[in-house]
Structure 1
Amino acid sequence: MATPAVATKLLESKYPPVTLFSSSPTYQMACQQLRVVAEAMPDIPADIIERLTIPKRSLVVAVPIRMDDGHVHTFVGFRVQHSLTSGASKGGLRYAPHVDLGEVAALSMWMSWKCGIMNLPFGGAKGGIACDPSLLSVGEKERLTRRFTEEVQTIIGPRTDVMAPDMGTDEQTMAWIYDTYSMKVGYACPEIVTGKPVDLGGCVGRREATGRGVVYCILEALKELDLRPEQSTAVIQGFGNVGSVTSEELVKLGVKIVAVGDRYGAVRDLHGLDIPALVKYAAAHPQKSVVNFPDAEAIDPAELLATPCTILVPAALERVITAENAGKLKCRILAEGANGPTTPDADAILAKTDIYVIPDVLCNAGGVTVSYFEWVQDLQQFMWSEQQVNEKLHELMVASFNKVRKLARDRNLTNRTAALSLGVLKVALEKQKRGLFP
């Protein structure tokens, strides 16, 4: 029988390739990673790989709202459900100017692998609205969120598709979705979203979960490399929810944060940044930025990733580590807090170095894991303590980390290929056993 790679080429020669997402480099990157898994895991049938390449469902909607000045503006929104095989699809909703269908499709695919690695009963999904949330008033964001919820109402539900916060959205966004959906169905339905306020059925520790998961993985890597946290330094790219929490948790362990950056600029202090002060400063900044933080040196954001450190945490956008800058990294551990921060070309360069890569689908899986905890609590109407949440998160993150490392050693794979393979294998096996539907 032909190998998956060969068989896929045969299929492509007989049937026209899918072009709907072809203009998106992020989607092409996700598909390239899937092809690497197909070559590493030849037992996965080629037709399953082909099915996993194409999202189960993609919805593009117009979102017209009345702006504060009285005129009507129409935004474009997306919701992509990559897989419904493992259960309800699960994934964040982001508000960002660059959002497009291909990006959302790629992120939904990565969510499927992430849920597979963590053995959660979810498929992957993602949503987005192309907008700049920093330019919208609170009222405009509320109207935008509620109208988007109305537009995607037919494909979401607590057993169908469950949203969560992402870039540019927060617990208030989830509260608006919860309220809009509940008004439509006629009863309070907190399990329709995760990452909502604790007062509305949210989970304690959910906001910090992704950053804490990143740190749990970093600690395991430090142990394996025989490095001590108090003798380590870190550089953080991105100072939103993930980056700021990761910084705070690392400082508690004795790690020195020497540089932090965001989309507006970067700051550095080789003696260690005052992270509590930086968190307060960024929260009060008009753009929620670290720019012009008074107790640090301003640096060119292009220099940030090349700053010498023990731990580098890209916690912002996709595709920031490329073939052009991968060779300039001066870290020992690359902990991917963002989704898809490293391109395949950069991966090939990093594979020839001693940099220990903790791939995104493992490293930032703490968020969806605690989202699962929140969903379960809402379904049962039985809430957990923060200690229970953190203990269970640590248990699952460490177990998944060890599964990835074992597969990497046993098959002589990179950490990324091992992590992706575990996620893909779970979904592929379930598709084989269930058949063509869903």
Structure 2
Amino acid sequence: MSTSLLSDANRRLERALKYVKISEDASERLKFPKASLKVSIPVRMDNGSLRVFEGYRVRYDDTRGPTKGGIRFHPNVNMDEVQSLAFWMTFKCAALNLPLGGGKGGITLNPKELSKFELERLSRGYIDAIADFIGPDVDIPAPDVYTNPMIMGWMMDQYSIIRRQLCPAVITGKPLSMGGSQGRDAATGTGAFFVLAAMMQKFDKSPHETTVAVQGFGNAGSVIARLLFEAGYKIVAVSDSQGGVYCPDGLDIPSVQQFKNAARSVKAVYCEGSVCSIVENHQVLTNEELLTLDVDILIPAALENQITAANAADVQARYIFEVANGPISADADEILEAKGIYVFPDILVNAGGVTVSYFEWVQNRSGLYWTEEEVNQRLSRMMVTEADKIWRISQELAIPLRTAAYVHALDRLGDALNAKGTREYYVG
């Protein structure tokens, strides 16, 4: 992970600032996180040894409401990454008009190396360390890379133990039995599908003649792949962390999902199977090769910085929908723009997760719970409405969709920051 990831993110902010009228105070505030916390988490391992893990939590901006953002367990987690993800979440919440700010958290480890017992002790230890930094009205964590409803349930339970009261609204993405929301587990992929389907109508291209490659067949990537398959799109390639498969005639996504589910170890929290193990009638390829396939739509749904200045010129897709956070670097943006590729940005496309997390938070606080159909109806309405607004900004100002999304978010953030007082107000 580059140590300049946050600087890279700020380049997008600087570009968007040229097209909005907000105070210097507001633009300066948005360049820095409000609060960043680094903690150590001692965990007694199953063999009796003690390991200390590094954990992070960042509240980037809470002008529009309490901060919101996931917790990831990954070997590459560091402060720069977490701050950058919290930055993106700030703009994502504003772009979707959610009354929330941006936050993020993580622990540096390979979670596949830990047992369920060790993961539980680690998850509860993390909450012990950051309990004073989060809360239903302060900062609300959620699942992210390699975290899941079970882990969120442990964390919510630990926070409730510390506070000596049941606090379901402190964590979202929980199991349904602990106050989770219908539709939350699939929300990122579902929301991305709503955006993709709505935006592709603008190009007058039918699903049956549209080819798609999905990098990252995890929670979000597998969901959007299934929904696109059911809608008639031709999914020609998918991949996970171990590699991918390609079939020019189209993959049967339910079969790929069934194979991966069957190959995983039922004894572990994380799967050990890989889609690249499917070799019959398919061509095995790497994640890097998948990114350069000659397809209509490319969906990066894995990790950050997958498309950079080093490989952007090789990308052949006409449309890119960012389901992952930050899969394209700022340098690569300029190359893809020059090639005429439409990039639908992460702060719009993958906002389904935080939107349904917001729904879960609302349901926890009100005590009224919605059906999955109600959740998806609300999600579709919000995602498509904001996608249309961003599309119009892009067309009216003749700017890339990413810049348009930041302009859209900046208008709302600027209004909120200016309401607290600016230089112009005090010295007039």
Q: TM-score range by the shorter chain?
A: over 0.9
Say whether residues 1:81 and 2:59 are aligned partners: yes
In structure 2, distance between residues paired with 1:223 and 1:141: 44
Deviation at 1:289, TM superposition (A): 2.4
Identity %, equivalent residues: 41
2:180 maps to which residue?
A: 202
Q: Identify which range, 46-55 or 92-101, moves more after superposition.
A: 46-55
Give unmatched runs, 5+ long, in structure 2: 266-271, 423-428
Which deviates the most, 70-79 or 320-329? 320-329
Letter of the 1:89 counterpart: T
- Corresponding position of 2:277: 292
1:351 match: secondary structure: helix
Q: 1:331 aligns with which of 311, 317, 321?
A: 317
Are the equivalent residues in 2 in contact too, given 1:26–1:319 (CA < 8 A)? Answer: no
The one-character-per-residue Cα deviations of 1:197-230 (angstroms, maximum 9, x if unpaired) are 1111111111111101111111122101100112
- What is the match of residue 14 of structure 1? none
Structure 2 equivalent of residue 10 of structure 1: none
> Per-residue deviation at 1:25?
2.5
User: How is 1:221-370 mapped onto 2 (pairs within 5 angstroms)?
Assistant: 221-283=199-261, 284-286=263-265, 287-295=272-280, 296-370=282-356
Give the 3-state SS of the residue equivalent to 1:291 in structure 2.
Answer: helix
- 1:285 Cα offset (Å): 3.1
* Preserved contact between residue 86 and residue 103 of structure 2 (Cα < 8 Å): yes
Alignment-derived partner of residue 387 in structure 2: 401
Deviation at 1:97, TM superposition (A): 0.1
Asked whether the equivalents of residues 57 and 82 of structure 2 are also in contact (C-alpha less than 8 Å), the reply is: yes
Counterpart-to-counterpart distance in 2, 1:84 and 1:40: 23
> Residue by residue, what CA displacement relative to the aligned partner does 1:231-251 show, whole Å, maximum 9, x if unpaired?
211100001111000111101
Q: CA deviation at 1:269?
A: 1.2
- Give yes or no for contact 1:239–1:289 (8 Å, CA) kept in 2: no
Q: 2 CA distance for matches of 1:288 and 1:66? A: 28
Query: d(CA) in 1 for partners of 2:286 and 2:85?
Result: 29
- CA deviations on 1:56-108 (whole Å, 9 max, x unpaired) are 00000001101111100000000000011111100000000000001000000
Return 5+ residue gaps in structure 1 as ranges.
1-20
CA distance in 1, matches of 2:273, 2:151: 17
Distance verdict in 2 for CA 1:392–1:307, change over 3 Å: same
d(CA) in 1 for partners of 2:295, 2:201: 17
Cα distance in 2 for residues equivalent to 1:363 and 1:84:
22
How many equivalent pairs are there?
Answer: 414
Q: Which amino acid aligns with 2:222?
A: S
Map 1:186-197 onto structure 2 (within 5 A).
186-197=164-175
Q: Tell me how far apart the structure 2 counterparts of residues 426 and 105 of structure 1 sit (CA, whole Å).
A: 21
Match of 2:159 in 1: 181
Partner residue of 2:269? Answer: none
State the 1:288 CA deviation: 4.1
C-alpha distance in 2, partners of 1:150/1:342? 35
Aligned-partner residue type, residue 290 of structure 1: V
The answer to whether the 8 A contact 1:60-1:78 is kept is yes
Q: 1:128 aligns with which of 99, 103, 106?
A: 106
1:422 to 390, 408, 411: 408
Q: Matches of 1:301 and 1:173 in 2, distance apart?
A: 28
Given the two structures, how large is their TM-score scaled by the length of structure 2?
0.94
Deviating 4+ runs (over 6 angstroms): none
Is the CA contact 2:245–2:279 (under 8 Å) kept in the aligned structure 1? no
Q: TM-score, normalised by structure 1?
A: 0.92
The residue matched to 2:40 in structure 1 has which SS? Answer: strand
